[in-house]
Structure 1
Amino acid sequence: MARLALRASLPLPSGSLVKLGVHCVTGKKVAIKIINREKLSESVLMKVEREIAIMKLIEHPHVLGLSDVYENKKYLYLVLEHVSGGELFDYLVKKGRLTPKEARRFFRQIISALDFCHSHSICHRDLKPENLLLDERNNIKIADFGMASLQPAGSLLETSCGSPHYACPEVIRIVHILFVL
């Protein structure tokens, strides 16, 4: 962390603390997500560690980059790529609707990133506009791999998770059937 200078706090809806950082040598901006280990249950800490392990496997232009992880007894510090465009959700609320050209561009970027993840046996499981960030050139960056899972070829994931409002109909149908039974 000695190479990074902490600056202002960045807003994050989940309530996590994220600070703007600047690399002391290169001047490059980063986002530093600070996680207090003492406030997490053992199961949540395991989930965070799984998220870190999965993010370390992914290097793609349309996935939010994790460049470093620092830790001490009390905190985990995730050094993430800084993106300044906010969430796709807010962009859609502000803009109203996308032009067909813009929708195709976003779609291609999302599909490219998901294809890369799936080719590395990674399933995001919580894809929604709030987890799609925009950089300064309005390029998509998939973020928040907290629900992600490694899915070996030929296996099925059996846990229903993510945001129900964005779940595909097949998943909703299966969950409904399970609750009826």
Structure 2
Amino acid sequence: MNSTKTPKNLVKRTISGGKSDGIIFEKYQLGHILGRGSFAKVYYGRSLEDNSSVAIKVIEKPSNSDPDMEPRLIREVSAMRRLNNHPNILKLHEVMATKIKIYLVIELAKGGELFTKLLARGRLSESTCRKYFQQLVFTVHFCHQNGVVHRDLKPQNLLLDGYGNLKVSDFGLSALPEQIRGDGMLHTACGTPVYTAPEVVRRNGYDGAKADAWSCGVIFFVMLVGYLPFQDSNIPNLYKKIIRREINFPLWISTPARNIIYRLLDPNPRTRFGVEDLMGLSW
């Protein structure tokens, strides 16, 4: 992967001892940690040029950690650059690098994770769910129109800005057009099992757009109800429930919302609602 060359003394201080008060590239002041992942840490950052707030994702260079991270990082940056103009997708401002680290400077989602909001409230009102679900559907449709399949849609990857609007993030597992084989299908199994469409784990090829639609259905159910539509600690048993479409709808879910979820959580991708089908619904 091509990375930015670092002129001598460009980095005034570095992160060490767990502290994050360094100044990188004489452009950003690193603050407290916002989150940790398997391969990266996300810090609050402040621009030294205009005093604006940003988030800075700090990643160890693949050669120094996990060589499998390089394709994931390339996909994440490529996907975000393709999608940078959508209001409900976190904007990528800048990519910088030192000899050992890569810094992604991204938009700060001041409202935090949707997942945190769900944990605090248990479930959301249908009117709130409808707002978030509509924003999610329009955003995912935009992704697909621009050749990007997310493949890891879940509440933890849905953030909120300071006005309560949805922001889709974390495109590290996304698929770009060059990953589609001659059969028109994707073949890499990835994602979080409880949010992943059943055909993805079969390894026979799958339509990425239909797989994203399934994940949208699970997210919609979780927002409305406060728990997953299919649950089992045993993965094979989990997928048996999914194939049988064993969904228990609480009485408070409206008929239109129930119908949408049922059509999205169709184990057969050929008959499952796609995101484009949702675009035509008045609800």
Higher RCO (CA 8 Å, separation ≥ 6 residues): 1
TM-score tier, shorter chain, comes to: 0.7 to 0.9
Deviation at 1:18, TM superposition (A): 1.8
2:172 is aligned to 146
Count of matched residue positions in the alignment of Structure 1 and Structure 2: 176
How high is the sequence identity, in percent, across the aligned residues?
A: 36
Q: Which runs of 5+ in 2 are unaligned?
A: 1-24, 205-235, 237-283
> Does residue 27 in structure 1 map to residue 51 in structure 2?
yes
Deviation at 1:12, TM superposition (A): 2.8
Distance 1:14 1:62 in 2: 25
Distance 2:199 2:143 in 1: 21
> Does residue 78 in structure 1 map to residue 104 in structure 2?
yes
> Does residue 65 in structure 1 map to residue 65 in structure 2?
no
Distance 1:100 1:144 in 2: 26
Deviation at 1:134, TM superposition (A): 1.2
Q: Is the 8 A contact 2:96 2:104 kept in 1?
A: yes
1:45 is aligned to 70
Question: 1:158 is paired with a residue of what secondary structure?
Answer: coil
Question: In the alignment, residue 164 of structure 2 is paired with which amino acid?
Answer: N
Q: Which runs of 5+ in 1 are unaligned?
A: none
Question: 1:77 is paired with a residue of what secondary structure?
Answer: strand
Deviation at 1:111, TM superposition (A): 0.8
Greater C-alpha Rg: 2
Question: In the alignment, residue 54 of structure 1 is paired with which amino acid?
Answer: A
Q: Is the 8 A contact 1:62 1:139 kept in 2?
A: yes
Distance 1:53 1:22 in 2: 24
Question: 2:68 is paired with a residue of what secondary structure?
Answer: helix
Distance 2:163 2:124 in 1: 16
> Does residue 155 in structure 1 map to residue 181 in structure 2?
no
Q: Is the 8 A contact 2:44 2:56 kept in 1?
A: yes
Cα pair distance change 1:43/1:56, threshold 3 Å: same
The 5-angstrom pairing of residues 79-158 of structure 1 reads 79-151=105-177, 155-158=184-187
**RMSD over aligned Cα, in angstroms?**
2.2
Q: C-alpha deviations, 1:15-46, integer Å up to 9, x for none?
A: 62222111123221001111111532222122
Please, what TM-score do these two structures have when normalized by structure 2? Answer: 0.57
Deviation at 1:98, TM superposition (A): 1.3
Q: Is the 8 A contact 2:152 2:191 kept in 1?
A: yes
Q: Is the 8 A contact 1:71 1:77 kept in 2?
A: yes
Question: In the alignment, residue 39 of structure 1 is paired with which amino acid?
Answer: N
Question: In the alignment, residue 132 of structure 1 is paired with which amino acid?
Answer: L
